[in-house]
Structure 1
């Protein structure tokens, strides 16, 4: 089913020049007597760790030798208990002169049992062994979360970490619980070196000095998979340039093909000299930049109408240090323009074709609360907001044949002090207040009717 699985090559198993492709055959525990009556030649053999005989020591080297003698091209050993493990083919108990002949890997028990179930119907697979510590695990959380910011921010080692467990033992364990300590430790080192550094500056150092993450074939993972990249604490520790924001989203449209972004620069060694800026992104984007003191202003101009979502990087080199600021570009056919006055937002929607309906969602970036209105051509579209701050505007514009998204961001600064949202003094959401009001009205009408009946 083209689903990838992560495996760990056993000690003594060599890398492959090219993938091994063939049928997957389940071979029990990989015993000689189990394989003797099976057609194993040119297959990828799947077996369970251990033995079905209590006390029997069925070493991985024995399983490998049995599989190789039977003609298998590779061996997959799944765990006999939850989790994954690191196995060894060469150890002190091997027979004299033993040399592994085929690749052998270990796999998580749950995934091994899943493969065992799958091969009852589809039993063809490709096995490739490679050294790629920056591969994003298939269980790692992906984005996007919102079209207005990039998530995840960064990735860190969290798959098959050899870590402590109860009773003084060690075990291979995976999850965000093991990636987060790497980042926390990196942040602690940066604070130790720079005691007055702020949290957002720590984030900048970690993100802009991270390493790109690629799959086994050199294809870089998307921002929604790996964020800025893999944590590189050595580079972050030596970095001296803080860049804000460390990543950003740019919104272009057919009506507004030019957009600017300001990157604020701060030097930890009081030097902003020898800064060189370059651009990696869509080839139809004309890029320019200029410095004004501590601010680096960048401009993107879409020269062709190639609508869609694109990823790219702004690269800043200072002396021998390299900083990377990833960006996400929304280039939309429709557009929405937002203006403000005294806390009232006004919207103008544009599409080169005739449109009939639009839904506008406005999100307060501080608390994530969202208000929605609908509109159509010729209708004055407004919405009141009651807090100053950044708001994210997204609209879906309906034409005769299709619907189109468009985005805008506005920094609201026109809400007067003391402005309170209606009904806020009740401490209840508007919907609940509306329900209470309807119930009160119905009760009043029923009471009035009963009163009239009594008077007859």
Structure 2
């Protein structure tokens, strides 16, 4: 009966996935002919500090295993590279192993597209530190964990002090600048923080360090990021910036835990929240770190280009590629599909905009081929989920912009049915939450993320070879906060990381949408940072937000504690403003009280459900207001009134196995699963083939396995649907797999 029930669930979910506009469906390239000795990376958490000699001795019986990194400060353990079966055997035999993690792929959190005044940096310059220096970040060590830095850039050469390259394994973290593997991300992030030349960063006089963990394509592994965090502790960084992430929403991922440990050791950790918005639960590690400052993206004042296409709901944001002509169309223009932009593939393009899929050839080749066919412009759409950044050679004669995969596929499908006209719409936007900015809350602990927001749309900054360009993404928002944290550290050198974080949250500006409705706290956190107010704050409320977990009729109340610190030189009066009222909630808050200068008080905050929420509401959020002298401090809060509809399964991926005819999969189950399985379907007929895997009563965390594929899938295109059920809720992810080249 169980298999029948699971089969029914899988069929229903598959039907939904093929007919819902929100389903995640994509096709990976044909499998390469895989070798039986394909290697992977595993991270081993240990009960004590790793001893390289002991580990090396234990590896003597394994042919392929090699030590990559030892972790001693941010994370206790080590990473190994080798064949999967040997790694698994080692994990069983090495007695010090507590937990084993597969290495995830971390990517840059940015999208290709002078906000210092907006966040209050210019006002801060008039404030001086205890030595009489203006607030410029002078003397503060800032580490950028990213794709490296072009430290020869005229605007960065004065700030750069050193670092390490974990991609190439040397002390030269120079950003890759060869045409094939060129990246620009780390240099752009560094400029927002520390540029001091033609443009000025938020904190132009910091001591800038670079830790290169993301290589060509902006990708890196978990252990490289862990090694960089570990190194930043040894190098005595004051602030570190991680504009990178995964799509896994869980607080127990190694990098998230490492950041918590780094903060406990005195480092202010700032991370991007991710670019998978606007839906809930899209924040990914390390934005899920409870101690780090996770940053969402807001808009400065700008005119943003959007594409409007009849029969496609909503306006699609356009991200111009670096090096291309300015995107400027003041009339409707016909739009035609150009495949992947190969020569001869683009037809009837005269006077039109050509839609081209990413992959198969370079961006420049695609654009030049379109220009030769008479196109007025090119829109590139991604071949994987999410947005992407890129650049074209400056000799490209027509403008080019990128859009996400799902938008591109919808337009491409419409071009098959009828002729399309595309119109460019320009919107003046300021202090709005960027659609791409990932939302919270975090699964498992239900904490508020992001913590704050900062400008992350059309941000101009440095890139390699002495150049500048505008990019957008939470990658661009995070370094504004990193620079702000450096200014805070200079102004208040004895403040702990949690105090700097609280100051930025306590003084943030809450943001409102187009309809003047306040964004949810799990969308914007406390709001957009205001640096001058943060530096001058007279009081701190720690933590800057409250999560009360899940409250039900059986467990109606919960108490959390806040520490109120008076940072001024006078006695301060404090009282909670209880103007807001909700018939289902009662708050028990302290009576008004006084705190002497430089003293603090720990107070209880209790929330009680007075009656059941009868509507469909799952998450209750809002703000408590503390009158602190002449300040009003908003404290975001959040709790669930029933088991939330969080994704029961995330990060599902399938890759070739270690021997012919096999695949390997992995998935993340935030709260475990009562039932988990993978069902195979024919992509053409939607007919069920068989179950590839099925398990029940699985604990929370990553799950992975290597399995043989049924031989009847040979030369067929199949769809694998992973499904998970927990506490009455089902969820699924799917992956289309062409198996033309698999070996049997």
* TM-score (normalised: structure 1): 0.51
How far the C-alpha of 1:113 sits from its partner, in A, is 5.5
Q: 1:297 to 1:24 in 2, by over 3 A?
A: farther
For 1:145, which of 442, 463, 466 is the aligned residue?
442
How far the C-alpha of 1:194 sits from its partner, in A, is 0.8
- Provide the residue aligned with 2:456 in structure 1: 158
For 2:402, which of 67, 86, 108 is the aligned residue?
108
Q: 2:552 and 2:640 mapped to 1: Cα distance? A: 8
For 1:284, which of 563, 568, 584 is the aligned residue?
584
Contact 1:24 1:46 in 2 (8 A): no
For 1:171, which of 444, 469, 473 is the aligned residue?
469
* Superposition map of 1:186-335 within 5 A: 186-250=484-548, 251-271=550-570, 273-279=572-578, 280=580, 282-291=582-591, 294-306=601-613, 308-332=618-642
Q: 1:79 to 1:253 in 2, by over 3 A?
A: closer
- Deviations, residues 327-382 of structure 1 (Å, cap 9, x unaligned): 11222499xxxxxxxxxxxxxxxxxxxxxxxxx98xxxxxxxx978xxxxxxxxxx
* Superposition map of 1:36-51 within 5 A: none
- Deviations, residues 174-201 of structure 1 (Å, cap 9, x unaligned): 2343222111111011111111100011
Unmatched 5+ residue regions in structure 1? 15-19, 39-44, 64-75, 86-104, 335-359, 362-369, 373-395, 404-456
How far the C-alpha of 1:172 sits from its partner, in A, is 1.3
Q: 1:108 to 1:235 in 2, by over 3 A?
A: farther
- Deviations, residues 46-67 of structure 1 (Å, cap 9, x unaligned): 899999667x9x9xxxx8xxxx
- Provide the residue aligned with 1:439 in structure 2: none
Contact 1:6 1:137 in 2 (8 A): no
- Provide the residue aligned with 1:93 in structure 2: none
Q: 1:273 and 1:158 mapped to 2: Cα distance? A: 36
Q: 1:170 to 1:242 in 2, by over 3 A?
A: same
**RCO (CA 8 Å, sep 6+): is it higher in 1 or 2?**
2
Contact 1:249 1:327 in 2 (8 A): yes
Q: 1:271 to 1:136 in 2, by over 3 A?
A: same
Q: Secondary structure at the match of 2:634?
A: strand
Q: 2:421 and 2:553 mapped to 1: Cα distance? A: 47
Q: 1:163 and 1:115 mapped to 2: Cα distance? A: 33
For 2:430, which of 105, 108, 133 is the aligned residue?
133
Count residues in correspondence.
Answer: 290
How far the C-alpha of 1:268 sits from its partner, in A, is 1.1
- Deviations, residues 212-248 of structure 1 (Å, cap 9, x unaligned): 2333333433333322222222321222211112111
Q: 1:269 to 1:261 in 2, by over 3 A?
A: same
- Provide the residue aligned with 1:426 in structure 2: none
Contact 2:502 2:544 in 1 (8 A): yes
- Deviations, residues 255-286 of structure 1 (Å, cap 9, x unaligned): 34333332210011144523342255744212
For 2:412, which of 117, 120, 145 is the aligned residue?
117
Contact 2:381 2:408 in 1 (8 A): no
Q: 1:132 to 1:147 in 2, by over 3 A?
A: farther
Contact 2:316 2:403 in 1 (8 A): no
Q: 2:487 and 2:458 mapped to 1: Cα distance? A: 24
Q: Secondary structure at the match of 2:641?
A: strand
Q: Secondary structure at the match of 2:562?
A: strand
CA RMSD of aligned residues (A): 4.7
- Provide the residue aligned with 1:26 in structure 2: 335
Contact 2:574 2:628 in 1 (8 A): yes
Larger Rg: 1
Contact 2:333 2:423 in 1 (8 A): no
Q: 1:107 to 1:137 in 2, by over 3 A?
A: farther
- Deviations, residues 368-415 of structure 1 (Å, cap 9, x unaligned): xx978xxxxxxxxxxxxxxxxxxxxxxx997xxx68xxxxxxxxxxxx
Moved more, 118-127 or 148-157: 118-127
- Provide the residue aligned with 2:363 in structure 1: none
Q: 1:127 and 1:146 mapped to 2: Cα distance? A: 38
* TM-score (normalised: structure 2): 0.33
Q: 1:124 and 1:132 mapped to 2: Cα distance? A: 25
How far the C-alpha of 1:205 sits from its partner, in A, is 0.9
Q: 1:215 to 1:79 in 2, by over 3 A?
A: farther
Q: 2:525 and 2:625 mapped to 1: Cα distance? A: 16
How far the C-alpha of 1:165 sits from its partner, in A, is 1.2
Q: Secondary structure at the match of 1:200?
A: helix
Q: 1:51 and 1:243 mapped to 2: Cα distance? A: 58
How far the C-alpha of 1:147 sits from its partner, in A, is 4.2
Q: 2:639 and 2:583 mapped to 1: Cα distance? A: 13
Q: 1:166 to 1:153 in 2, by over 3 A?
A: same
Q: 1:257 and 1:240 mapped to 2: Cα distance? A: 35
Are residue 5 (structure 1) and residue 305 (structure 2) matched?
no
Unmatched 5+ residue regions in structure 2? 1-311, 321-325, 339-348, 357-366, 383-387, 392-398, 596-600, 645-670, 673-697, 701-724, 730-744
Moved more, 224-233 or 120-129: 120-129
Contact 1:84 1:107 in 2 (8 A): no
How far the C-alpha of 1:296 sits from its partner, in A, is 3.6
Q: Secondary structure at the match of 1:143?
A: coil
Contact 1:254 1:333 in 2 (8 A): no
